[in-house]
Structure 1
Amino acid sequence: MSAFKAACIQTRSGRDVAANIAQVEDLIRAAAAEGASYVLTPEMTNLLERDRAALMEKISSEDEDPCLARLRSLARELGLWVHIGSLAIRLGAETVANRGFLISPQGEILARYDKIHMFDVDLDNGESWRESRTYKPGEESIVAELPWLKLGMAVCYDVRFPHLFRAQAKAGAQALTIPAAFTRQTGQAHWHILLRARAIENGAFVFAAAQGGRHEDGRETFGHSLIIAPWGEILAEADHDEPGFVLAEIDVDEVAKARGRVPALANERPFTIETVALSQTEPVS
């Protein structure tokens, strides 16, 4: 079997964990009713909270997280692959993981991924972000096997580090996943370009489930969840920032076709870099 339906869920997570769970469950059920066999939720599915103290009060360890427990049960009930883009998971008294989970139709956790790259950025609209003050970065990239294809796991800001996705593609990934809570400013400028580039340069599908709209903690996210084909075509897009989902038929054979047309993975060669200083140049006579 080389074809299946994939869905990207778009949410607007707030400060109420129970409300966030209810919202994403309704959207997953709706996507499953339209034939989705695999669904991806956005980054921070369980809540979006900028205040560190409030965040620490509301989050749980992996064993006790109510969103993870509910979505594992839902995967089992619906016979569905549920990929939680990420949850805020308590690691200790002061440490948090931004962790994604791939859940099988039996409700088992097949894979975990902790976001590697921290969004430590000062934007020109006055927004300032220091994820490294709260979150412990991951150290391991993950490629997981589904019945139809191999899937690379990433989260949001990881999209700006193309070597991560090239490594996943060379390890066999045929789809790259980029669940996100992209800021509105950076999303308007770069979201579509970066995602299509990651698909094209690796000859891989890209699934990008996004947060969208103005959140209770004051941030604004871009929305525009996307499913992109290996040749760079947009197969499905939420052309807005409202909660919902997008759905597309995924023909896995398109990966081999794209990589055959432009065999960039096969043609890649090792190289070294030499920096030539001005003082090394020969004088002009």
Structure 2
Amino acid sequence: MRIALSQLTTGPDPESNLGLLRDEARRAADGGARVVVFPEAAMACFGTPLAPLAEPLDGPWAEGVRAIAGDTGLVVVAGMFTPAPDGKVTNTLLATGPGVEASYDKIHLYDAFGFAESDTVAPGSEVVTIDVDGLRIGLATCYDVRFPELFRAHADAGAVASLLPASWGAGPGKREQWELLTRARALDATLWVAAVDQADPAASGAPARSKAPTGIGHSVVVGPDGTVRQSLGPEPGMLLADLDPDEVASVRRAVPVLANRRLSELG
């Protein structure tokens, strides 16, 4: 199955960002993709007040994403913000398109490196997978990549790939951690990991937004054996990748880490 990772830089205006998604989805469709994946915070970049712009899953922004999916025939995965109790929002991935309608609320919030996502964002609690053309795919977001149990849960649910939209925080060593963690999660769960980050704002000519995690680029597709198959630099771009489910089965036969787990016996 061919997927497209659209590495872009979003700004604070949801309507303008929707236009970016529309143009990129058309590029993905022209490239033969079945799924196009946009970064976390595709609706509006971090560093923007989130509560005033949050919308429900049946609101106009989500409906705009559904229209893009309908126009292109693609399954679209994009990060948005939905209302939550106590004035907070939920960091949500919307997955929509032919035969697919699902949402994932980010479970692990980015309370690290001097940033406190939980001040304004409520955590999710449910593992979510989608089925596209008979293939099961797990959904995760950014900081989730530091928690291997989520990706193993995708594999236990039958997934052959995990999609990881992100808006990765910049800083010393953060690019190296990004590559290490995406490769490690592919190995942990012996599945494909397709991780799409926001492009580096500096490479896009966009203004920096204080300490907000606004992306470093370097989107990556990692095979189930942990090897990097394709990657981008810091600037905006699109990556087209063909994910082979047979390779997942082959790697799991050779390195059956999922079958060999013994934690239940140690409890």
TM above 0.5, yes or no, is: yes
SS in 2 for 1:144: strand
- Alignment of 1:42 with 2:29, yes or no, is no
1:116 to 107, 123, 129: 107
SS in 1 for 2:33: coil
SS in 1 for 2:12: coil
- Alignment of 1:169 with 2:155, yes or no, is yes
Q: Which moved more, 1:133-142 or 1:186-195?
A: 186-195
The residue correspondences of 1:1-285 to structure 2 (distance < 5 A) are: 4-51=1-48, 54-66=49-61, 68-84=62-78, 86-92=79-85, 94-105=87-98, 110-121=101-112, 123=113, 128-185=114-171, 187-214=174-201, 216=207, 217-218=209-210, 219=212, 220-238=214-232, 240-269=233-262, 270-272=264-266
Shift in Å, 1:92: 5.0
RMSD, aligned α-carbons: 1.8
Shift in Å, 1:96: 0.4
Gaps of 5+ in 2: none
Confirm or deny: 8 A CA contact 2:166 2:215 kept in the other structure.
Answer: no
Confirm or deny: 8 A CA contact 2:4 2:240 kept in the other structure.
Answer: yes
2:45 and 2:249 map into 1 onto residues whose CA distance is: 38
SS in 1 for 2:143: helix
Opposite residue 15 of structure 1, the aligned amino acid is P
Larger Rg: 1
Shift in Å, 1:105: 2.2
2:216 and 2:265 map into 1 onto residues whose CA distance is: 38
Confirm or deny: 8 A CA contact 1:182 1:211 kept in the other structure.
Answer: yes
Gaps of 5+ in 1: 274-285
1:49 and 1:210 map into 2 onto residues whose CA distance is: 13
Change (3 A) 1:259 1:94: same
Q: Following TM superposition, where does structure 1 have runs of at least 4 consecutive aligned residues deviating by more than 6 angstroms?
A: none
Q: Deviations over 1:7-61 (max 9, x none)?
A: 111111111222211112211211110111111111011101425xx32223323
SS in 2 for 1:178: strand
2:266 and 2:258 map into 1 onto residues whose CA distance is: 18
2:244 and 2:88 map into 1 onto residues whose CA distance is: 40
Q: Which moved more, 1:5-14 or 1:93-102?
A: 93-102
Q: Deviations over 1:211-270 (max 9, x none)?
A: 1212543445211111111112222211x2222210111221111011011011111112
SS in 2 for 1:63: coil
Shift in Å, 1:78: 1.3
TM-score under structure 2 normalisation? 0.90
2:116 and 2:130 map into 1 onto residues whose CA distance is: 29
SS in 2 for 1:212: coil
2:60 and 2:51 map into 1 onto residues whose CA distance is: 13
Q: How many equivalent pairs are there?
A: 258
Opposite residue 169 of structure 1, the aligned amino acid is A
